[in-house]
Chain A
Amino acid sequence: MLKDITLGQFFPGDTIAHRLDPRTKLILVLLYIVALFQATGWVGYGLVLLATAVCMAASHISPKNIFKGLKPMLFIIALTALLNIFYTTGTPIVPGWIITWEGLERAVKMMLRITLLIAGTFLLTYTTSPMALTDGLELLMNPLKKLHVPVHEMTIMMSMALRFIPTLIEETDKIMSAQKARGADFENGNLIQRAQALLPILVPLFVSAFRRADELAVAMESRCYHGGEGRTRMKQLHMAQRDWVALVCGVLFLAAVIVLKRFGL
């Protein structure tokens, strides 16, 4: 079950999507999210769907991997859909029923919206190494340093968190096996009982995470880490022609979605 978590996972590759500058990709994702929330009609949704499909094809990420990433979100998606079905007023499907055509339409759109939102952000993390991602983020937020926002600290925290996700997942698996071997039961019982069963996992996990953090800090200091000042990078980011082309495409795409919205499509 824990192996299915693909959050923050990166699939190395050499496609156009991999080669784009992380800053470009971050801006594109922002444009994409704005477009997604601007889309109202079916045509608009169709366009966003098409854009997602094109990006997926360009990055050679199979839909299977995207769906694997969606799995943990299924519950939320289903809940949103259900709420929309039952709480939207309009023309009932069958006279006297609580389910309306409008509700059904909204439910489908909502599901589509959340799915696309996750798929879009996954495309970013699947094609961008966490280091590149945090580098891009740091550079994009650089102007905020003037306002004394601790940009470097924030991004290094993010990259460390991403670095330790696989390690901590592995550790959780180990602790769970150890608890199971001593008769712990994680599969049976109601929701509260199962949540309670997780407590003996969380406590050792937290303790070990703190110990790891401590050792990591010492190891970083030993390698001369002293904050962001005077730091250089091995891989310097360059905005190439393809980045500008991609950005123009992104802006055009957003404009198209907004225009479609104007026409109610």
Chain B
Amino acid sequence: MIEFQNVHFTYPDGKHETLCGVDLKIEEGSFVAVLGHNGSGKSTLAKHMNAILLPTEGRVLVDGIDTSDESRILEVRRRVGMVFQNPDNQIVANVVEEDVAFAPENLGVPSDEIRARVDAALKTVGMYEHRQHAPHLLSGGQKQRVAIAGVIAMQPEIIVLDEPTAMLDPQGRREVISTVTRLCREKGMTVVLITHHMEECVGADRLIIMSHGKIAADGTPGEVFSQVELMQREGLDVPETVRLCWDLNKEGFSLPLDTLDTQRCAEAIIG
């Protein structure tokens, strides 16, 4: 579990606070999506979760460990795996399986167990057949899945993905999102997905909207997306089905706005 307690953060060369008083609890086993514009502080928020950045005020607790406790930093990072935007800049080895082995090697896991973890992690993300490949010859989506495997091999409790799809094509994006969803649903891993693609948030348990370093909305995707005015104010899209119901409501209907998929939307309109 990750807990933010009144976290403030200002970059050393920054004039403004990037995070201004964030209070947040991320429950075990949940799939949390964080949506926001560039500069809303969502990446900064992510980097606080595994002690890459430390709050200038307030504190962040990972399973009760304060991230500013330097002596326990490895425990924090082992618990919270992080996947970054650019797949090229987070792959450290020239062979897929050696890259996946990097984190357990750092943690001093015995060789046989590393082998087992690497194979299991690669199977989980569906990259086992590519274990001997050179990462730079893989597609963007595949590279990102290797990066996810590299984090899973560490056996973290929480996996934080900082805009993992920003540099991918639609195909790669689908691969990554379905992998992440499976991790949460089947393996019970806690997933925090930072993104600026509205579609990727629909399947989450909880959606958080970041704006100017603050949490602007927090709830299930249905609850958050139905606040259409707020989303528009933040310059964010809502699913087309929600938009349709909202437009109809302006014409005098009174339809529910948590219509995240076409099925639900059709039912709302017909029923």
Contact = CB atoms under 8 A, between A and B. Distances in A.
Interface of A: 10, 12, 129-131, 159-160, 162-163, 166-167, 170, 212, 215-216, 218-226, 230-236
A129 B95 contact: yes
A12 B105 CA distance: 23
Interface string B85-119: 01011111111011001111111111100110010
Nearest to A163: B94
A156 to B, nearest CB: 9
Given A231-B108, A234-B111, A224 B92 contact: no
Interface residues of B, number: 39
Q: Which 4 A-B pairs have the closest CB atoms?
A: A219-B90, A234-B101, A223-B103, A215-B89
A12 B97 CA distance: 13
Contacts of A236: 111
Interface of B: 50, 52, 74, 77-78, 81-82, 84, 86, 88-95, 97-98, 101-111, 114-115, 118, 132, 134, 136, 150-151, 154
A224 B107 contact: yes
A222 B52 contact: yes
A231 B74 CA distance: 13
A212 B89 contact: yes
19 contacts: A129-B98, A131-B98, A212-B86, A218-B84, A219-B90, A219-B92, A222-B50, A222-B77, A223-B150, A223-B151, A223-B154, A224-B77, A230-B108, A232-B105, A232-B110, A234-B98, A234-B111, A234-B114, A234-B115
B108 A218 contact: no
Contacts of A225: 102, 106
A231 B78 CA distance: 14
B92 A160 contact: yes
